[in-house]
Chains A and B, each alone.
Chain A
Amino acid sequence: GAGVSQTPSNKVTEKGKYVELRCDPISGHTALYWYRQSLGQGPEFLIYFQGTGAADDSGLPNDRFFAVRPEGSVSTLKIQRTERGDSAVYLCASSSPTSTGDTEAFFGQGTRLTVV
């Protein structure tokens, strides 16, 4: 597609429920990132995929959070047993390295998750 697409744009869920957030990166971008942005703060890194594998998942806050990218394109962020503190905007970004390694990450519009 033309840009990074995230669905749904908004998600309201009850505490304790399971949610999935989807990211469709720019076609051909091999790198994909998930960030979380809490109200009034800058985005915080969660996880980075290079192709199908998670190359860096050091930002995942705990084992309730998991992400997959089975075919190296679309990624799904999964949150189990949601808590009110998980409420935030979840941003996805993708990038593609050039021969010089000079890249920027392109962001989607995010999924606003509200846990009630």
Chain B
Amino acid sequence: AQKITQTQPGMFVQEKEAVTLDCTYDTSDQSYGLFWYKQPSSGEMIFLIYQGSYDEQNATEGRYSLNFQKARKSANLVISASQLGDSAMYFCAMREGDRPAGGYNKLIFGAGTRLAVHP
């Protein structure tokens, strides 16, 4: 069965510093996708970044990058130059199939990491 593990219940970082949020996953599938979502106190899940299992390069989106280590089954999120507005819950999630036809998006989520950015 697929499983996502986020071992850091809470993290804090100084404004303008970089922070790494850990995520490990377990799957027997060869094809899968990995996501990071941000959930501020308003409750909405905001998509940050995506990595397909067959992508050879680590994904990057602005200040977000995904450190994908396939052999170790880890997909850590790196946020560079932290901002106060980055304070939120962060969830790692996995989808069966890298880019499945029809766009099937059944996601398995981890328990999340609460990030606090201090001025």
Query: Residues on A close to B: CB < 8 A?
Result: 30-31, 33, 35, 40-45, 48, 50, 55-56, 89, 91, 93, 95-98, 100-110, 112
Known: A91-B45, A109-B43, A109-B44. Contact between A103 and B109, CB under 8 A? no
* Cβ–Cβ contact A107 & B103, under 8 A: no
CB distance from B101 to the nearest CB of A (A): 5
Contacts of B103 in A (CB 8 A): 30-31, 95-98, 101, 103
Whether A43 lies near B102 (C-beta < 8 A) is no
B25 at the interface (CB under 8 A from A): no
A104–B105 CB distance below 8 A: yes
B residues lining the A interface (CB < 8 Å): 4, 35, 37, 42-47, 50, 52, 91, 93, 99-112
3 residue pairs, one from A and one from B, having the closest CB atoms: A97-B103, A42-B109, A107-B45
Contact of A31 among B35, B91, B102 (CB under 8 A): B102
CB distance from B68 to the nearest CB of A (A): 16
Q: B107, A105: Cβ atoms under 8 Å?
A: yes
Establish whether residues A48 and B35, one from each chain, have CB atoms under 8 Å apart when the complex forms: no
CB nearest to A98 among chain B residues: B103
User: With A and B bound together, what is the CA distance between A70 and B105 in angstroms?
Assistant: 21
Further pairs besides A42-B91, A43-B91, A109-B43: 10, Cβ < 8 Å: A42-B111, A43-B109, A44-B109, A56-B104, A91-B45, A97-B102, A102-B50, A104-B50, A105-B105, A106-B47
Report chain B residues within 8 Å CB of A48.
Answer: 104-106
Set A41, A44, A98, A103: member contacting B105, Cβ < 8 A:
A103
A10 to chain B, nearest CB (A): 11
Verify B105–A93 contact, CB threshold 8 A. Answer: yes
30 contacts between A and B (CB under 8 A): A31-B103, A33-B105, A35-B107, A41-B112, A42-B4, A42-B109, A42-B111, A43-B91, A43-B107, A44-B109, A89-B43, A91-B43, A93-B105, A98-B103, A100-B99, A101-B100, A101-B101, A101-B102, A102-B52, A102-B99, A103-B99, A103-B105, A104-B35, A104-B105, A105-B107, A107-B37, A107-B45, A107-B46, A108-B44, A112-B43
Knowing A97-B101, A109-B42 are in contact, say whether A45-B47 is a contact too (CB < 8 A).
Answer: no
